[in-house]
Structure 1
Amino acid sequence: MTDGVMGPRELAARIVRAAEDAGDHRYLVGVAGPPGAGKSTLARGLAEAVRKSGVPAEVAGMDGFHLSSAVLRDSGALGRKGQPDTFDVASFVARLRRLRDSAIGVPVPWPVYDRARHDPVPDAVTFAGERVAIVEGNYLLLDRPGWREVRGCLDEVWYLDAEETVIEQRLLRRHLRGGKSPDRAQAMVAGSDLPNARLIARTADRADLVLRAVPGGYRIHPRR
């Protein structure tokens, strides 16, 4: 750690110590935050660093619990995809509990989101010997019916913060890379992504740790 900046290895060491103290159950660490904050990068880096320390770990993404595009289209909600009510939160909570409560070594399948198909793929990965699961998603701290049960399934939750201007530019680039026209991309960011990011930002005070990406790693931030 340099000048208060922690890399994935230092952050992973915190997880490894906590997992060792947790005994026999699988240790679940949430990584929450708005879209475009860098959650996936942080989650992958943590899982890799935990594995390098000798503790089996894997990422469990929330995005695999999106309702399918067909279901959203039929209900008229496809244009709001990514908002809280476009996820199967009941299945997410049930699978989290299974992941937490199953003995190490007992297989627990987990869905993933296929960004090429824009749809979830059921049971695409399987947890078995992993002692640590890094659960990554926007709404892990959301205090709404159904969603508020998520927090109780996790041993701790970290919130990855970012300036709104940074989030806006990252999401705009993401939509453009995905083939959206500049006008359509800007409309999606302004009409859906940023309001969503502001909703998520209001959940940061429920986190155990608030981080912000800085050159060379991450800095622990005061809660909002």
Structure 2
Amino acid sequence: MTTAVPIEELVEIAASLGTPRTRIILGITGAPGAGKSTLGHRIVDALGPDKAVLVPMDGFHLANVVLLEKGLRQVKGAIETFDDAGYASLLHRIRDQKPGEVIYAPSFNRDLEEPIAGSITVHADVPLVVTEGNYLLAENGAWPSARDCLTESWFLDPEQDDRHDWLITRHMDYGKTAEGARHWALGSDEDNAKLIKATAYRADRVIQIQGLI
């Protein structure tokens, strides 16, 4: 069942998950354009760097040169275009992080459309790690191992027309033509969305956000 929740309330819920002595990993998932990264940033910005850090799954995109070698460049964003084992390994390290240990995680640069290694610093004394991405609840490959590290998982389920509008706008913001953005959003992205939607039942909360934009 999808529950409509104000974004301010979601920030409060996220804050209540963590304590100074406990490592909490909150996973936010949903289809492309659902608002995962926006919500993740809102939570981390509201709580501040001493209490929360954002570690996106998108840092584990395979590089374009690898996608070209594999013939997958035109479906970038599909589940097979991610290093799922690498992502799961990172979440295990973050879950089991020792006092004083510093972990460096990758990010994803949308202008370059490439992952950037070692660009996010995760300190052991930060209680809440927010991770977001499409396939956190998938059943194949190493995704279940990644999911085992999550303290709680949220599935974002906006109205489909709104999601399509946000997604098309985002593609255009990063350089695609209106036609190209629409083709990508309603083609490859929508194929991925159907796969992701089927994982929603595994989430702890299925949410429609009020006030995301």
> Where does residue 75 of structure 2 map in the other structure?
80
The 8 Å contact of residues 25 and 100 in structure 1, kept in 2 or not, is answered as no
The 8 Å contact of residues 26 and 103 in structure 1, kept in 2 or not, is answered as no
Distance in 1 of aligned mates of 2:109 and 2:94: 21
Equivalent AA in structure 2 for residue 99 of structure 1: I
Distance in 2 of aligned mates of 1:63 and 1:40: 10
Distance in 2 of aligned mates of 1:177 and 1:76: 26
The 8 Å contact of residues 88 and 145 in structure 2, kept in 1 or not, is answered as yes
Distance in 2 of aligned mates of 1:122 and 1:37: 25
Distance in 2 of aligned mates of 1:185 and 1:50: 34
> Which of 137, 144, 152 lines up with 2:148 in the alignment?
152
TM-score (normalised: structure 1)? 0.86
> Where does residue 17 of structure 2 map in the other structure?
18
**Cα offsets for 1:39-67 (capped at 9, x unmatched):** 11111111223339xx6211010000000
* Residue 80 of structure 1: how far off its partner (Å): 0.8
TM-score (normalised: structure 2)? 0.90
Equivalent AA in structure 2 for residue 19 of structure 1: G
RMSD: 2.0
1:51 aligns with 2:48: yes
The 8 Å contact of residues 37 and 160 in structure 1, kept in 2 or not, is answered as yes
> Which of 152, 157, 182 lines up with 1:186 in the alignment?
182
> Where does residue 6 of structure 1 map in the other structure?
6
Identity of aligned residues (%): 35
Q: Which consecutive unaligned segments of at least 5 residues does structure 1 have?
A: 219-224
Equivalent AA in structure 1 for residue 13 of structure 2: R
Equivalent AA in structure 2 for residue 133 of structure 1: V
The 8 Å contact of residues 111 and 174 in structure 2, kept in 1 or not, is answered as no
Task: Please give the secondary structure, in 1, of the residue aligned with 2:187.
Answer: helix
Q: Indicate how the Cα distance of structure 1 residues 72 and 178 shifts in structure 2: closer, same or farther if over 3 A, else same.
A: same
> Which of 25, 31, 35 lines up with 1:28 in the alignment?
25
> Where does residue 62 of structure 1 map in the other structure?
57
* Residue 197 of structure 1: how far off its partner (Å): 1.2
Distance in 2 of aligned mates of 1:99 and 1:40: 19
Which deviates further from its counterpart, 166-175 or 117-126? Answer: 166-175
More relative contact order, 1 or 2 (CA 8 Å, 6+ apart): 2
> Where does residue 125 of structure 1 map in the other structure?
120
* Residue 104 of structure 1: how far off its partner (Å): 4.0
Q: Which consecutive unaligned segments of at least 5 residues does structure 2 have?
A: none
* Residue 167 of structure 1: how far off its partner (Å): 1.6
**Cα offsets for 1:68-92 (capped at 9, x unmatched):** 0011011111111000110001000
Distance in 1 of aligned mates of 2:163 and 2:7: 21
Q: Which has the larger radius of gyration?
A: 1
Which deviates further from its counterpart, 104-113 or 166-175? Answer: 166-175
* Residue 172 of structure 1: how far off its partner (Å): 1.6
Q: How many residues align?
A: 209
The 8 Å contact of residues 27 and 150 in structure 2, kept in 1 or not, is answered as yes
Equivalent AA in structure 2 for residue 51 of structure 1: G
The 8 Å contact of residues 30 and 157 in structure 1, kept in 2 or not, is answered as yes
